[in-house]
Structures are given as C-alpha cells and as structure tokens.
Structure 1
Amino acid sequence: MTEKKLKVDLSVPFPTEREAQIACGTLSVDSEPKRGGVKKELVVKGNVLNIHFEALEARMMRVGMNSFFDHLNLVIETMEKFGPPEK
C-alpha cells in the first residue's frame, strides 16, 4: 500500500520579477533534509514565486512550511530594508 502524500501549493507575488528571482535563489539554497520527509520546489513565473510542498505526514508539512515562512519573512524584510535590487 502506498502512502498518500499531502500537497500544498503557494503563490507569493513580489513587486518585480527580479525580487521574485532573488527570493527564489535565496530560499532554494538549503534543500530539505531527507529525514524531514518534506519535498519543496520553487519556480518563478513573472513576479510570482510559486512553491510546491509535499509530505507524508501533517506534522512534517507543518514544520517544513513554518521553517519556510520564517525564511521567506526574513528575505522580504531584508529586501524592504535595503530597497529594490539594482538591475
């Protein structure tokens, strides 16, 4: 019997495509640990960062998403503090 995966898709709009790319690059650096059981994929389309999560357990999904949102918040606050990126 195969286990059913939990899936969550999120879209995070940014003011510009460049900012979405910076966020994607920053958040893609750390892959999820194998033992964590959470798979994360990030893709930029225009000015939108699309994130896809998969996990086998709700607890693992919650932990993985909480960690992601903490990092996303830090990236956004940093970009706001230092202003828009130069081209």
Structure 2
Amino acid sequence: MPLSIRSLTKHVNMAACKTENGSERKLEFFLKVPFPSEREATIALQSLSPDPEPRKGGITKNLDLSGQTLSVRWTADEARILRVSVSSFLDHLSLVMETMDAFGPPVSQ
C-alpha cells in the first residue's frame, strides 16, 4: 500500500506546554511517520534532515528514527511559525514519499 499524508492523521499530536504559573509558553507538535521498511525510513530521514529551520529563533525541529518510524518534534513560540514549519515539512515529506513510491522499494545495500 503506498504511503500517503492522509494516512498520517492518527500519528499526529499537538500540545501546549505551560509554565509553572499556568501561562502558556511553548507549543509542541509531534508527528510519527511509519514506513514499510527501516531502509525507507532512513532514506526519508536523510532526505528531510538537511532542511534546517530558516528562522534562527522561535522554533526548533528534531527528527529521530526508531526502526521503521520517523519521529518529528517541533517546539515553537507562536502558532503561526509552527503552522508554517509543519506545512513546509509535510510538503517535503509528501514529495519524498511520492518519489519513493514512483521508484519502488529501495535496493538493499
């Protein structure tokens, strides 16, 4: 079954972190992307990792690989910045998935 962005909906989680006094401080967004194989997950990680956040402050993005699952965690000061970053990442992820689907499963090394 081909990978698709629509199938990722159940792997999304967003939370607002709060400071000790109860005021909102940071927004967090988590995304877990399951791949058919560890090799495909590694290819996706290597394809998506070179894109650092263009802003120097206000947002961080961390990518991690655990077996066949690519995990991404954003932390941002503002919802607008978070939305733009996640949207851009999903566009890139969609392109990576479409490319892998077009070329078929990777050849083992």
Which of 67, 79, 82 aligns to 1:58? It is 79
Alpha-carbon deviation of 1:14?
Answer: 0.3
Which of 41, 63, 83 aligns to 1:42? It is 63
2:40 maps to which residue?
Answer: 19
Task: Kindly tell me the number of residue pairs found equivalent between the two proteins.
Answer: 85
TM-score, scaled relative to structure 2 = 0.74
Aligned CA-pair RMSD = 1.3
Distance in 1 between the 2:57 and 2:37 partners?
A: 32
| Secondary structure class of the residue paired with 2:94 | helix
- In structure 2, give the amino acid aligned to 1:37: G
Percent sequence identity is: 53
Alpha-carbon deviation of 1:76?
Answer: 0.1
4+ runs deviating over 3 angstroms: none
Larger Rg: 2
Name the structure where helix makes up a greater proportion of residues. 1
TM-score, scaled relative to structure 1 = 0.92
Structure 2 unmatched ranges of 5 or more: 1-23
Structure 1 unmatched ranges of 5 or more: none
1:79 maps to which residue?
Answer: 100
Establish whether residue 33 from structure 1 lines up as the match of residue 33 from structure 2: no
Distance in 2 between the 1:34 and 1:72 partners?
A: 20
Q: Answer yes or no: is the 8 Å Cα contact 1:36–1:60 preserved in 2.
A: no
